[in-house]
Structure formats: structure tokens, C-alpha cells
Amino acid sequence: MTHAALVMKDISKAFPGIQALDKASLEVRPGEIHGMVGENGAGKSSIIKVLAGIYRAESGTIFVMGKPIENITPEAVHAFGIRFIHQELHLVPHFTVTESVFMGQETSGPFGLRSRDMRRRAESFLKETLNASISGGALIRDLGPAERKLVQIARALIDGQARIVVFDEPTAPLSSDEIAQLFQAIRALKARGIAMLYVSHYLKEITEICDRVTVFRNGRDVARFEQITPQSGGELVSAMVGRELGELYPPRGERTVSDAPVLALRDAGDGALFEGVSLELRAGEIVGIAGLVGSGRSAVVDTLYGLRKLHAGGMELDGKPVRFRSPAEAVAKGIVLVPRDRRNDGLVLSMSSAENINIASLDEIARFWLESRKRAHIRAERQIADLDIRPVDPDVIARNLSGGNQQKLVLGRWLATDARVFLLDEPTVGVDVGARVEIYALIERLVEQGAAVLISSSDPAELIGTCDRILVMMRGRIACEVDAGGLAVDELVALTTGANGEAA
């Protein structure tokens, strides 16, 4: 029997108060794409950090090609041919492709760097191993997201010593075309016999590309699927949450939709990313915007929130023309945004849960212009309980919360105000399944209370599951509007990618 490329056996790791890994095991074979799934906090990142030599496990062994790694340090792991493709790209925007690929491993001769030789090697590696033609002289900042990802992969593999490659959420910033491009490269690596561990929240991708899948829950490997088909998603979800998840999306409550739009765009354009966009948001309904990255949907959301200037057309609030010069003006009118980059734009990471929740409603809790700490705390505690934010501690620093809990915090902040229009940009990116269900339920509650909600998302299932109608954007214009009821995911994907030949 041939050796597995990577075996992690009975790995345990505890942090104060948490058993992050409890005799977890994992096995990846050569030439296999092995998926690893689990909710946030299930132990996926912990076991990867143990493998990377960042965390030191209390017990357990790691074997590479049958040989145990004696002293697990980042250097030893690298020497054993294990490479990591982190979620963040870690590229320098003004470096060329060649410089990026060889960063930290440049080759030089007696007359300095062998630039031409490095460029040739970078280009041929990208071409032959990753199936991509990218010029070695191109600057990173001129590349698309998928190409940047490929450069990152090339950097990890250029020395030819890689035997095991760990992908951590590799598709996070990519649109579906770009994902296809990335998958092509990953399959090319598989054909070369490289073992791959593929970690992702996107079950659709897992079922599409992975040969086998290990499911993590509570710091343990709870299930291993030896056969993966596109239909395995449901089984994976039940294994992840440990109970049958009835529905990811909440049932539709009674929605009373107002006749007059609350917020509307009329033939609007920002002079760069979109033009001729008209849309209407009514109280009590959820409108979705679908579209690839670069279709302009994020720019439309930013414009509604006063982050981008309107160059053409107009905006109306309650039927009256309005123009926001800054987000502060939008918030004053009851329009709020849950941004796609919640870590940088949505939260003050160094502040506590309570402070983050109260930051938008200080006026209300202030007494004689001074913040009443006691009132603030009571409010925050109520919100935290209401939103089921874990840990249930108003003083925990936002940085230490999981992605799902951070997002609930951002939503919770606006729930505490009298906002009427909610703009949600990628509300569940990087959020685990359990927390997603809760966030969808929250959104449903908002509409039932008469709020108008706009969701911009790259997840077609999410839009179909939550929205009443969906606007499909393509190249800065609204290509069509569809009713979400009864729409199939592949129909929506076809619309956003223009697969059915509609003119862009």
C-alpha cells in the first residue's frame, strides 16, 4: 500500500477554557484534493496552524510520506514540502509577477539577480503547471483577483519541492469565472500527484472539486466522506452542524410591502463603475443585487450610502430628490450599511462588543452629553442575548470574535437604531453555516418590522433564499430583474455570467 502524503494523528491542542483540538486526525493522499469543512470554531484553523508549526500541539504526530516530523516548526514543515496558500494574498501591488513569485527566494549570480532567468521560470511555471499565461513583467496591481491568486500559488510551488499544498478559502475574493480558472490550476496540480488540503466554507466548491472530505466539529474529525458528488452538500451540512438543518433560509413571514418606494435611484451613474441604473426599495421587501465582481453592484450600494458621488441621474428618498455627500447624511436619514469588509469598515476591532453595539446610538444613551456606562451596558447585554452573540460577554474585544459573531455585532448595532433602509453588502462572507441561519432570520425580522432591505451578494443561493426580487447587474448596468420565487440557482448564475448569450 502506498503511503498517504500527509497523516495527522490524534492531534490535541487546548487553550485556556477551550479544547481547540481533541484527538483530531486527518489523512490526505498523493494526487488527491481533500476537502476540510466545519463551522467556525470546529478546529479547522487550529489544525492548520498546528500543521504550519504556528501552534504547538500537546499530543499527536504528523507523518509526511510515512515519515514523522520530529520537531514541528515552520522551517521543518517547509522542508518536508508542505506549502500554504493563505486566504490573504500577501502580494506587493507594485512588484512584478516575477518579483512576487521569487520573493524571498531570488536567484542571483556574480553580477546580481538573474532577472531574465527568473522571469522565464516564473512564466513557464505559470504556463505549464498552472495553465495560465501571465506575463512575468506585469505588475500585481494590474492583475485580476484570480491571476493574483495564481501568482500566490506559483510563489509557494516554484521551488519544485512541494508535496502537500494547503488551500485556505482560496476562492473568497473570486467571481465564478475566476473560480473556474483557479480550479483548472488546482486540477493541473492534482495531475502532477500533489496532495492538496482544501479548506472552505463554500460547500458547492467543496463538492465540485474535492475527491474526499473530512468534516470537523468541536475540535474533532467527526465524519469522512469517501465519495463526493455535487449532491453531497446536504449530507455535509448535517455532519457539520450535527443535526438535520431543516432550512438554511427562514420561511417567508407575512410581508406588507409599501406601494411607494422608500429609496430609489433614477437612471443613476457614478461616472465610472455604473450607469443608467434605476432601482426602487420598498418598505417590507428584500431586493437583491446579483452580479460578478466588477459588475458595479458594490458601487451602487456605496452610492446609496453616500460613499460614492452620483454623477448622473438622481436619488429619491420618500419620493423627494436627495443627495448624500457623506455616510453621516445617509445615516441621519435612517439608511445604514453593513459593509463587505466588516473587519476594517464595520467594526472597531479594538473595542468591546458593547462599545461596538452602542457606537451608532450614543445620542440615545447619553445623558447630559455624557455616556451613561450603566445604560450602555444594559442595552448591549440585551442586544448580545437577542442576537445570540458568543461569547455572551459585552466586554470581549471584537477582534477575538468569529466572523459570524462579528457580523451579528455589526447588524446588532443598526438594530439598536431607528434605521429604515438596510444595505447589506456580502452579509455572510466568511460566516459559518450556523451563524448564517441566524443572520438570515435577523434580516427576515427586519423586513417584518417594515424595513427596506437591499442585499448585494455573490452567493446566488443566498439571494434566491432571502430576496423577493433580484436585479442582475452586468458591466455597470442592470441587465434584468427577476422574481426570486421559484428561481433556480443555475438560472441566476446563467443570468449573472451572461451564459445564455444576453447582450451585456
Partner 1 sequence: MRSLTLTRLVGIAPLLIFVAMLAYIGFNAPNFFTVTTADLVLKQSIPVVVVSLGLAIVVMAGGDDIVAGGIDLSIPSTAALAASITALLVTNMNQPLIVGLLAALAAALAIGLVNALLVTRINMTPLLATLASSVAIVGIASVVTSSRRINVTDPAIVFIRDGCILGISADVVLVAILVFVAFHLIHRTRWGMNMQAVGGSRDAAEISGIPVKRFLFSSFVLAALAGWLAAPFVLARGSGVSPGVEENLLIEMVLATFLGAAFSPRRVVTLWGAVLGAILVAAVSIGFKSMGVNVFWTGLIKGSLILIVVALAAVSSRTRT
| HSE-CB of 202 using CA atoms within 13 angstroms | 23
State in angstroms the smallest separation of the CB of 92 from partner 1: 3
State in angstroms the smallest separation of the CB of 424 from partner 1: 23
Asked whether 77 and 53 are in contact (CB, 8 A), the reply is: yes
Task: Using DSSP, state whether 81 is helix, strand or coil.
Answer: coil
Between 148 and 220, whose beta carbon lies closer to partner 1? 148
State in angstroms the smallest separation of the CB of 219 from partner 1: 26
* Residues within the interface to partner 1 (CB under 8 A): 78, 86, 88-95, 99, 102-106, 108, 111-113, 139, 141, 155, 271-272
Rounded CA-CA distance 334/325 in Å is 15
What cell numbers appear for 298 in the block? 458594490
Rounded CA-CA distance 376/357 in Å is 9
Rounded CA-CA distance 266/276 in Å is 8
Contacts of 374 (CB under 8 A, 6+ apart): none
What cell numbers appear for 264 in the block? 430609489
What cell numbers appear for 324 in the block? 448624500
State in angstroms the smallest separation of the CB of 78 from partner 1: 8
Between 54 and 378, whose beta carbon lies closer to partner 1? 54
Between 68 and 271, whose beta carbon lies closer to partner 1? 271
State in angstroms the smallest separation of the CB of 95 from partner 1: 6
State in angstroms the smallest separation of the CB of 166 from partner 1: 13
Burial class of 403 by CB neighbour count within 10 A (0 to 12, 13 to 18, 19+): middle
Between 155 and 282, whose beta carbon lies closer to partner 1? 155
Between 355 and 426, whose beta carbon lies closer to partner 1? 426
493 closest CA partner among 462, 455, 466, 454: 462
Q: Quick one: DSSP state of residue 452?
A: E
Rounded CA-CA distance 213/37 in Å is 7
Rounded CA-CA distance 12/37 in Å is 18
State in angstroms the smallest separation of the CB of 155 from partner 1: 7
CB 213: neighbour CB atoms within 10 A?
24
Between 103 and 489, whose beta carbon lies closer to partner 1? 103
State in angstroms the smallest separation of the CB of 29 from partner 1: 27
H helix or E strand, kind and range, residue 187: helix 176-191
H helix or E strand, kind and range, residue 321: strand 320-322
Contacts of 414 (CB under 8 A, 6+ apart): 336, 338, 360, 422
240 closest CA partner among 44, 426, 46: 44
State in angstroms the smallest separation of the CB of 74 from partner 1: 8
Between 63 and 95, whose beta carbon lies closer to partner 1? 95
State in angstroms the smallest separation of the CB of 145 from partner 1: 12
Between 260 and 272, whose beta carbon lies closer to partner 1? 272
C-alpha distances in Å from residue 198, one per residue of 4, 133, 206: 16, 24, 8
Between 102 and 324, whose beta carbon lies closer to partner 1? 102
Between 168 and 355, whose beta carbon lies closer to partner 1? 168
